[in-house]
Copies of this chain bind each other. A is one copy, B any other.
Amino acid sequence: MLLYLDCDPGIDDALALGYLIAHPDVDLALVGSVSGNTDAATAAVNARGLLRLFGRPDIPVATGAHDFLSRPFHGGAPHVHGDNGIGGVALDTTGTTTARGSAAEELVALARSNPGQVRILAIGPLTNLALALDLEPTLPSLVHDVVVMGGAALAPGNITPAAEANIFGDPEAAARVLDAAWDLTMVPLDATMHQRFEAADLEALLASDRRPAQVLGELLAQYFDFYSGPFGRPSAALHDPLAAGILTGEAIATRAFQVRTVVDTTDGPGRGQTIADLRGSYHPDPKAYSGEARWVLAVDEPFAPTLLERLLSLD
């Protein structure tokens, strides 16, 4: 598959990127950066450093929007992802590739050159996708589909009681992306909070004799520290990797609904929440209810073993 990855590495972004590079069916054509876990410029540097680490410095990285559609960048999540977005680890970017245009421009160009072929995986705020829709309103019919790590359908939020961090970062952009007429799959906290790396997974990465796995292990240590709070033990929610697994088909949704969704763009306590109309979910036949976006509410099978195996295979 021909893939555009929109990301804000970000420690779980780094895991997702490693997984995609290791997957033999994924042809990662372009990476775009966006402000989220860190600012877009730093995220682009991190993406290039990670691509070099994973042996693919040839893949171009386009820097995306620094500010969100209606608000300036908020400063990121250093308490979760470290000062530079990847746990404070400095990566060598020698020989890596920077795309000429912005992430939105490069995405549009890629889609125009490969009509109907490009899949989009967005694992940060949706600013670049909204900007690309501005540049090319027919983008939904030019791309194959879109998979988004973001939102919370019935689960609590993570950055506020109601909102997940990616959607909260740029609710106005998310509203435009969710309103666009593409084949859209949302992978929200409902599914990702239950997919985790535990201490044994971290140890396996650190014990590897391969540098990609070792470095990913180092990045993960900070992330494990953060999750000691909400989970009560060192571990890591696999938000972005699970969305990548849904994209490749190696993670299978066991509970999903296709329902109309509204993003809360008020300034109230629900700002940034994704309101999926799941009132029909009590019905024994969910097909009685349909709408624009497919929400993956659960993935029963643990994705961690598959993810770990692919990350350990990186050379």
Contact surface of A with B, Cβ cutoff 8 Å: 154-158, 161-162, 193, 230-233, 260, 262, 264-270, 273, 275-285, 288
Contact = CB atoms under 8 A, between A and B. Distances in A.
A56 B186 CA distance: 54
B162 A275 contact: yes
Given A154-B154, A156-B154, A273-B270, A230 B279 contact: yes
Contact of A280 (B230, B265, B275): B230
Given A264-B268, A269-B262, A275-B269, A283 B230 contact: yes
Given A161-B277, A266-B269, 5 more contacts: A154-B156, A161-B260, A230-B279, A232-B285, A262-B269
Contact of A277 (B155, B156, B278, B280): B156
B264 A161 contact: no
Contacts of A279: 156-158, 161, 230
A157 B259 CA distance: 14
A262 B230 CA distance: 21
Q: Which of A232, A260, A265, A288 has the most CB of B within 10 A?
A: A232
Nearest to A227: B282
Contacts of A158: 279
22 contacts: A154-B154, A154-B155, A156-B279, A156-B281, A161-B260, A161-B275, A161-B278, A162-B270, A162-B275, A231-B283, A231-B284, A232-B283, A262-B269, A264-B268, A264-B270, A265-B268, A266-B266, A266-B269, A266-B270, A268-B268, A268-B270, A270-B270
